[in-house]
Amino acid sequence: MLENKAIRTELSELGEFGLIHELTKNIKLKHKSTIKGVGDDAAVISYGSKQTLITTDLLIENVHFDMTFMPLKHLGYKTAIVNFSDIVAMNGIPRQLIVGIGASNRFSVEALKEIYKGIYLACENYKVDLIGGDTVSSVSGLFISGTAIGEAAKNEVVYRNTAQKGDLIFVSGDLGAAYMGLMILEREKQAFKADPNLQPDLEGHDYILGRQLKPEARTDITKLLKGVGVIPTSMIDISDGLASEILHICTDSDKGCSIYEDKLPIDPATVSMANEFNIDPTTCALNGGEDYELLFTISQKDYEKVKDIYGISVIGHITDKSEGINLISRSGTQVPITAQGWDAFLKGKEKN
Ligand code: ADP
Ligand code: MG
């Protein structure tokens, strides 16, 4: 993929400082809170009386992404988004980003600039300042780490461990599509390995591929909630799948829950792809991961205020811890959700 590029500048031609300059020379800072960005030993930020939120994520080639089907620009975009999503999940606003990169000489300057195009696009879309990073060489493979910094008023920060009995459980958007996108990309990669003359068959799968390759952080949802004056009682972003995230909320809050299978928002494109792969769409929603949607709880008294917000669905409610963490299947069977939720779920189905 990289070899086909017309121009290839070796990393060694620029050297570390030349490369950093090349990657950061056009930065224009957007925020008053960014006092000093790239160019010194440390960046300086100040939020005055607000609280500062900090999060970091490390992405490693062949573990978190696969260069054979992850375009470089998308990789940059995703690196930024997964971090912004964590800030949003605290009900904060992402403001600054720091990016560390470890690249082997397999990567050219042009390749790294392509990754930065994606990072800068995400920073534009979410109004975030890139304020620094680190650039090192790696013996093999590519590493990218992102650290996002955000702000929130003290009384607006939302944690995972504060869900209350009786709260309604919501998710934004729809679930399972990113996983189906990954399955298609993996399938085409295998087909390509078997027969390199084969063209990838990605036609007609725009939605689910986009969900895998170009996720978004749901700042729009937290803004809408703020607009109607509602602060969730707890919140988390869905990076590892609904099952894993609801377990976090319930376990950390010392509560149980009932989630209803028939309420899970799943896009028709996800359902039809799941059928093609012979996977239960509910399994995709529970365990797929990488949707970067928000899972949050809301006090029942706030239901009237949020019920007309487009793009969020009620999927269940918080119960006493003693009632357990359960999925209520379409047929009404109660199945405990575990980290490998689908295992228990499949067993539960067999009992029917
Ligand atoms: P130091 O030697 O003090 O670690 P560096 O030479 O690594 O400093 O970095 C110089 C400046 O460039 C710092 O402000 C740093 O945050 C920034 N920087 C380095 N690498 C990157 C990168 N990949 N992306 C953005 N900024 C970077
Ligand atoms: Mg450094």
Spell out the per-residue pLDDT of the chain, length 352, in tens: 454 557 899 999 998 899 999 999 999 999 999 999 999 989 999 999 999 999 999 999 998 899 888 899 999 999 999 999 999 999 999 999 999 999 999 999 999 999 999 999 999 999 999 999 999 999 989 999 999 999 999 999 999 999 999 999 999 999 999 999 999 999 988 888 888 787 777 788 999 999 999 999 999 999 999 999 999 999 999 999 999 999 999 999 999 999 999 999 999 999 999 999 999 999 999 999 899 999 999 999 999 999 999 999 999 999 999 999 999 999 999 999 987 644 444 444 433 3
- Residue with the smallest CA separation from ligand 1 atom 1 is 41
User: Which ligand 1 atom lies nearest to the CA of residue 16?
Assistant: 6
User: Which ligand 1 atom lies nearest to the CA of residue 38?
Assistant: 14
Q: Residue 237 and residue 217: Cα distance in Å, rounded?
A: 9
Closest CA to 97 of 82, 107, 113, 115: 82
Angle between helix axes 109-125 and 11-24 (nearest 10 degrees) is: 10
The pLDDT assigned to 69 comes to 85
Chain centroid, CA 310 distance in Å: 20
CA of 258 to the centre of ligand 1 (A): 48
User: Which ligand 1 atom lies nearest to the CA of residue 134?
Assistant: 20
CA of 19 to the centre of ligand 2 (A): 12
Q: Are 230 and 305 in contact (CB under 8 A)?
A: yes
The pLDDT assigned to 344 comes to 42
The pLDDT assigned to 342 comes to 41
User: Which ligand 1 atom lies nearest to the CA of residue 116?
Assistant: 24
Q: Residue 288 and residue 296: Cα distance in Å, rounded?
A: 18
- Residue with the smallest CA separation from ligand 1 atom 7 is 134
Measured from the Cβ of residue 147, the count of other Cβ atoms closer than 10 Å reads 18
- Residue with the smallest CA separation from ligand 1 atom 20 is 134
Q: Residue 231 and residue 306: Cα distance in Å, rounded?
A: 11
Q: Residue 161 and residue 164: Cα distance in Å, rounded?
A: 9
The pLDDT assigned to 346 comes to 46
The pLDDT assigned to 351 comes to 34
CA of 41 to the centre of ligand 2 (A): 8
Closest CA to 124 of 94, 99, 102: 94
Question: Which token pair is 197?
Answer: 């003359």
Q: Are 89 and 238 in contact (CB under 8 A)?
A: no
Closest CA to 101 of 118, 126, 87: 118
CA of 16 to the centre of ligand 2 (A): 9
Q: Residue 1 and residue 70: Cα distance in Å, rounded?
A: 11
What single-letter DSSP state applies at residue 46? -
For the chain, where do the domains classified as CATH 3.30.1330.10 start and end?
11-152
Topology classification of domain 168-336: Phosphoribosyl-aminoimidazole Synthetase; Chain A, domain 2 (3.90.650)
Sign of the Cα pseudo-torsion (298, 303, 305, 308, in order): positive
The pLDDT assigned to 140 comes to 86
| CATH architecture of the region 11-152 | 2-Layer Sandwich (3.30)
The pLDDT assigned to 300 comes to 98
Q: Give residue ranges with CB within 6 A of ligand 1.
A: 20, 23-24, 38-41, 99, 101, 130, 132-135
| Residues in Cβ contact with 29 at an 8 Å cutoff, skipping those fewer than 6 apart | 37, 129, 131
Closest CA to 261 of 313, 319, 324: 313
The pLDDT assigned to 5 comes to 52
For the chain, where do the domains classified as CATH 3.90.650.10 start and end?
168-336
Total count of residues recorded for the chain: 352
Q: Residue 84 and residue 131: Cα distance in Å, rounded?
A: 14
- Mutate which of 79, 114, 115, 135 for ligand 1? The one with the most ligand atoms within 8 Å of its CB, which is 135
Question: Which token pair is 133?
Answer: 């990073």
Place of tokens 């470890």: 102
| Continuous segment of H or E residues that includes residue 344 | helix 341-351
- Mutate which of 38, 109, 138 for ligand 1? The one with the most ligand atoms within 8 Å of its CB, which is 38
Measured from the Cβ of residue 170, the count of other Cβ atoms closer than 10 Å reads 23
